[in-house]
């Protein structure tokens, strides 16, 4: 019985394996081209998992199909196709290996593997040629196969070229003028007794497309905003390799522009600029949007259409099985449809709009269409309301069609709260009372390293970035940019501030000196972050609820940034790896001490958060906790309690303004201290607020990896006759 079933399954597999796999390959291409853009628009983990699985399967299925075709050459059993049609399906595998335009790399590491893909391209082309040659000389489909083969090679080349261009080392550009050649020419002139000298001649600078006088209050010139973003992308793209050396003229131009346009338009331009970064490192944008790229894409599309036409008019196709003919027709229909979708996406992309340039002015109707489309793409930040929206309303807003289909980022500020986290941990039963199923699940998740992923799904809060919060962040950074002016040393000093700058600026409050010394200067960044997080949570729960007063806004936004920074510390450690130190150990120890304290107080529900904060602040902390605990625990719970008590002595409005400004400094410090790679990595997972702050600080002329020089890179050395 088992043998009979196995033999029948083997028979079915032999008959349908190639047909099924090549259709699955086509389906994966269709899935990826439509869903891959969601990577930058949503932080939903299930969407990311589906795209990850499809991306890995796409290459595997296409390669496996090509291997089956190669293996079946010369095999004429009743279950297999003839060599002619099998050779016809091989170029489709090359088309699928080329992948969709919307995703070439799943992670930044994929771009560094471009050489591996090049070798793969060579071998897959050789295999396809082998299949084609094996079907000759009796293959009457050789002409349509040839055209389809050209299209497949072009698509595969496009993907490999995109990976090569997206490699960070290629962002460096050319090495500069050829000094040896210039001096050799100079020596030749001198030997001929021709008086020459080397002189720096100003090179004609590309005309700036920045028109700041029009950009401050005009919210509808979306084409202008995208062109501005592309202009700055070409200047600041060297941030990707942490080697941005700016002439003072470019720095001042960027700084003045972002000072003038206001927070709302600044956010729109930053979104478009980060979208260019995303397209450069994760899609085929750099390979496609050039004269060479346009020509190759046109050639491949025409080759597919010509191949399809030749196949339709081939008189011998009726000898193939009807099922195989339908599979071929579906493959052609899929290839044409994918190219059509790719064409629409390419034409409507930001890259095409900037390539068209001023030509759009001659076509007002076309300009209106692009303006309308860009308006859909441009993120609109919601207004803050003191009354908290329900979870259902938040989900409805996050999954609105405009936001899912057109937005350039997720729009979320995620958060993790240490007090809530500890209360949840305290609510769990002791180990001996845990059921076998739960115990096995915990062990399974720990062994696979999924503990953080599961926690991320269960305990992370999601807040929308509101217009008011962004306005406050923009205003604080702009204020510091004005203080910096043209002083580069001051820019570096401010970028290294992590709360102490604002505390020193407001010396009229008597507690500031002690705050700076105890909770900033004498502690590392991770400890300072945890101290201010717990203190903020204590003050937040003990103060009056949200109101329309200014302190109500600062109170809420301090809470949002506090939870967001703890989220980064816990779940995105790569962003804080250069500054966080032993942050993971401090977080675990603090949670353990908080859990023990809350359980001892009989608080085991998240709803007990206010009571928990009240109980914590009532603890006598006259003796410094570190003297009692020594080095056995890195917990900062009761040190943060001491900070909370000192903050509670300050008048409410001044306190929350101060706390918010400290959090902006902690956020900006993490943003500029982190290298570019983690920022660009998170562009493919919905984006992060800290990345916007990182880029805005660079435009404001504040940053750790920003170097400014008085040399003009718009000048070039030339030999001139000496008169």
Strongest mean pLDDT among 98-112, 126-140, 573-587: 98-112
Query: How far, in Å, CA of 529 to CA of 569, rounded?
Result: 9
Three-class SS state of 414: strand
Beta bridge partners of 414: 462
pLDDT class of 460 with cuts at 50, 70, 90 = confident
Q: Are residues 435 and 320 in the same domain?
A: no
- ∠ CA 283-285-291, nearest 5°, is 150
List strand residue ranges (DSSP E) for 137-224, in order. 196-202
Within a domain: 626: yes
- Decide if pLDDT at 227 tops 70: yes
Within a domain: 205: no
Higher pLDDT, 690 or 521: 690
CA atoms within 13 A on the CB side of 660: 26
| For residues 341-360, average pLDDT | 89
| For residues 445-474, average pLDDT | 78
| 287-291, 332-336, 568-572, 703-707: range with lowest mean pLDDT | 703-707
In sequence order, which residues have a C-beta less than 8 Å from that of residue 661 and are 6 or more positions away? Answer: 476, 502
Q: Are residues 434 and 324 in the same domain?
A: no
How many domains is the chain partitioned into structurally? 2
Write down the pLDDT at residue 437.
Answer: 42
Within a domain: 247: no
Within a domain: 643: yes
Domain boundary among 350, 365, 392: 350
pLDDT class of 218 with cuts at 50, 70, 90 = very low
The domain in which residue 320 lies consists of 2-172+284-350
Write down the pLDDT at residue 230.
Answer: 94
Three-class SS state of 713: coil
| For residues 526-553, average pLDDT | 83
- Decide if pLDDT at 299 tops 80: yes
The closest of 345, 307, 348, 342 to 328, measured between CA atoms, is 307
Write down the pLDDT at residue 390.
Answer: 47
Strongest mean pLDDT among 84-93, 293-302, 714-723: 293-302
End-to-end CA distance of the chain: 102
- Whether the model pTM is above 0.85: yes
Can you give the C-alpha Rg of the chain in angstroms? 31
Domain boundary among 350, 370, 386: 350
Within a domain: 398: no
Burial class (CB within 10 angstroms; exposed 0-12, middle 13-18, buried 19+) of 492: middle
Q: Are residues 514 and 611 in the same domain?
A: yes
pLDDT class of 435 with cuts at 50, 70, 90 = very low
DSSP per residue, 45-104: HHHHHHHHHHHHHHHHHHHHHHHHHHHTTT---TTS--HHHHHHHHHHHHHHHH--TT-S
Helix/strand/coil (H/E/C) assignment for every residue in 323-377: HHHHHHHHHHHHHHHHHHHHHHHHHCCHHHHHHHHHHHHHCHHHHHHHHHHHHHH
Q: Which two tokens stand for residue 141?
A: 């489909």
Q: Are residues 430 and 321 in the same domain?
A: no
Q: Which two tokens stand for residue 291?
A: 């004269």
| 93-107, 153-167, 433-447, 529-543: range with lowest mean pLDDT | 433-447
In sequence order, which residues have a C-beta less than 8 Å from that of residue 625 and are 6 or more positions away? Answer: 635, 637, 638, 639, 642
Write down the pLDDT at residue 163.
Answer: 92
Within a domain: 221: no
Query: How far, in Å, CA of 147 to CA of 325, rounded?
Result: 18
Query: How far, in Å, CA of 691 to CA of 678, rounded?
Result: 9
Write down the pLDDT at residue 324.
Answer: 84
Q: Which two tokens stand for residue 636?
A: 């900062």
Other CB atoms within 10 Å distance of the CB of residue 27: 15
DSSP per residue, 635-674: --HHHHHHHHHHHTTS-HHHHHHHHHHHHHHHHHHHHHHS
Q: Are residues 423 and 330 in the same domain?
A: no
Residue-wise pLDDT tens digits, 44-98: 888 889 999 999 999 999 989 888 888 776 554 443 445 667 788 889 999 999 9
In sequence order, which residues have a C-beta less than 8 Å from that of residue 88 and are 6 or more positions away? Answer: 141, 144, 145, 148, 311, 328
pLDDT class of 214 with cuts at 50, 70, 90 = very low
Q: Which two tokens stand for residue 571?
A: 């779940």
Within a domain: 330: yes
Q: Which two tokens stand for residue 198?
A: 């080397």
Write down the pLDDT at residue 71.
Answer: 77
Three-class SS state of 699: helix
Burial class (CB within 10 angstroms; exposed 0-12, middle 13-18, buried 19+) of 425: middle
Query: How far, in Å, CA of 55 to CA of 104, rounded?
Result: 9
| 189-198, 256-265, 474-483, 531-540: range with lowest mean pLDDT | 189-198
pLDDT class of 431 with cuts at 50, 70, 90 = very low
Q: Are residues 327 and 461 in the same domain?
A: no
Within a domain: 277: no
Q: Are residues 24 and 106 in the same domain?
A: yes
- Decide if pLDDT at 716 tops 60: no
- The DSSP 8-state label assigned to residue 605 in this structure reads S
- Decide if pLDDT at 570 tops 60: yes
The closest of 233, 223, 188 to 359, measured between CA atoms, is 223
Write down the pLDDT at residue 439.
Answer: 43
- Decide if pLDDT at 455 tops 50: yes
CA distances in angstroms from 261 to 148, 214, 224, listed in the order given = 50, 9, 12
Check the CA dihedral 191-194-198-200 and report its sign: negative
Write down the pLDDT at residue 120.
Answer: 83
Q: Are residues 497 and 640 in the same domain?
A: yes
| For residues 653-662, average pLDDT | 87
Domain boundary among 350, 370, 388: 350
**Crossing angle for the helix pair 637-647 and 609-617, nearest 10 degrees?**
80
In sequence order, which residues have a C-beta less than 8 Å from that of residue 78 and are 6 or more positions away? Answer: none
Q: Are residues 559 and 676 in the same domain?
A: yes
Q: Are residues 323 and 425 in the same domain?
A: no
Q: Which two tokens stand for residue 687?
A: 């984006």
CA distances in angstroms from 163 to 172, 280, 300, 363, 686, listed in the order given = 15, 9, 19, 35, 21
List strand residue ranges (DSSP E) for 210-311, in order. 244-247
pLDDT class of 558 with cuts at 50, 70, 90 = very high
């Amino acid at each position: 019985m088992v043998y009979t079933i196995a033999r029948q399954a083997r028979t079915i597999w032999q008959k349908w394996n190639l047909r099924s796999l090549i259709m699955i390959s086509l389906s994966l291409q269709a899935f990826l081209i439509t869903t891959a853009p969601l990577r930058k628009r949503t932080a939903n983990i299930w969407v990311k998992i589906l795209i990850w699985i499809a991306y890995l399967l796409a290459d595997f299925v296409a390669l496996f199909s090509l291997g089956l075709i190669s293996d079946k050459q010369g095999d004429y059993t009743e279950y297999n196709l003839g060599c002619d049609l099998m050779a016809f399906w091989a170029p489709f595998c090359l088309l699928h290996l080329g992948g969709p335009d919307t995703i070439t790399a799943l992670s930044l590491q994929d771009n560094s593997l471009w050489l591996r893909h090049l070798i793969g391209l060579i071998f897959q082309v050789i295999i396809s040629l082998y299949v084609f040659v094996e079907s000759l000389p009796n293959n009457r489909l050789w002409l349509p196969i040839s055209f389809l083969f050209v299209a497949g090679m072009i698509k595969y080349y496009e993907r490999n070229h995109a990976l090569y261009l997206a490699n960070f080392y290629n962002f460096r550009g050319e090495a500069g003028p050829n000094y040896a050649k210039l001096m050799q020419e100079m020596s030749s002139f001198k030997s001929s007794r021709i008086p020459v000298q080397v002189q720096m001649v100003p090179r004609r600078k590309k005309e700036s497309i920045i028109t700041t006088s029009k950009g401050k209050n005009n919210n509808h010139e979306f084409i202008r905003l995208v062109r501005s973003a592309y202009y700055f992308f070409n200047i600041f793209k060297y941030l990707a390799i942490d080697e941005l050396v700016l002439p003072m003229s470019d720095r001042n131009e960027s700084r003045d522009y972002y000072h003038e346009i206001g927070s709302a338009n600044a956010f729109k331009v930053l979104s478009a600029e980060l979208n260019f970064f995303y397209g450069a490192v994760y899609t085929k944008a750099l390979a496609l949007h050039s004269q060479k790229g346009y020509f190759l894409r046109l050639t491949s599309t025409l080759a597919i259409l010509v191949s399809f036409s030749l196949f339709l008019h081939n008189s011998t196709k009726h000898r193939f099985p009807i099922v195989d003919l339908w599979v071929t027709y579906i493959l052609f229909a899929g290839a044409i449809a994918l190219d059509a979708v790719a064409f629409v996406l390419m034409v409507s992309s930001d890259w095409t709009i900037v390539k068209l340039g001023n030509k759009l002015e001659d076509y007002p109707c076309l300009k209106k269409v692009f303006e309308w489309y860009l308006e859909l793409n441009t993120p609109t930040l919601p207004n803050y309301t003191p009354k908290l929206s329900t979870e259902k309303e938040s989900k409805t807003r996050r999954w609105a069609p405009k936001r899912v289909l057109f937005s350039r980022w997720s729009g979320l500020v995620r958060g993790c709260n240490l007090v809530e986290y500890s209360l949840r941990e305290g609510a769990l039963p002791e180990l001996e009372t845990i059921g076998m199923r739960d115990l096995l699940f915990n062990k399974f998740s720990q062994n696979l390293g999924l503990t953080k992923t599961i926690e991320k799904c269960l305990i992370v809060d999601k807040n929308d970035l509101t217009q008011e919060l962004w306005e406050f962040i923009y205003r604080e950074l702009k204020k510091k940019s004005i203080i910096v002016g043209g002083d580069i040393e001051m820019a570096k000093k401010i970028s290294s501030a992590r709360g102490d700058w604002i505390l020193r600026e407001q010396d009229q409050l008597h507690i500031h000196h002690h705050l700076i010394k105890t909770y900033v200067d004498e502690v590392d960044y991770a400890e300072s972050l945890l101290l201010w997080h717990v203190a903020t949570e204590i003050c937040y729960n003990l103060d009056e609820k949200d109101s329309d007063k200014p302190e109500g806004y600062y109170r809420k936004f301090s809470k949002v940034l506090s939870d967001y920074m703890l989220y980064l510390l816990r779940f995105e450690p790569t962003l804080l790896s250069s500054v966080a130190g032993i942050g993971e150990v401090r977080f675990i120890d603090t949670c353990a001490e908080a859990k023990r304290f809350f359980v001892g107080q009989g608080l085991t529900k998240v709803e007990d958060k206010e009571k928990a904060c009240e109980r914590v602040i009532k603890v006598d902390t006259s003796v410094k906790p570190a003297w009692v605990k020594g080095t056995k625990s890195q917990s900062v719970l009761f040190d943060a309690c001491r900070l909370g008590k000192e903050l509670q002595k300050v008048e409410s409005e001044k306190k929350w303004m101060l706390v918010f400004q400290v959090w902006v400094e902690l956020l900006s410090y993490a943003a500029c201290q982190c290298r570019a790679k983690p920022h660009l990595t998170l562009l493919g997972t919905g984006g992060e607020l800290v990345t916007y702050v990182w880029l805005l600080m660079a435009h404001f002329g504040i940053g750790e990896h920003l170097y400014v020089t008085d040399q003009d890179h718009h000048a070039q050395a030339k030999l001139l006759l000496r008169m």
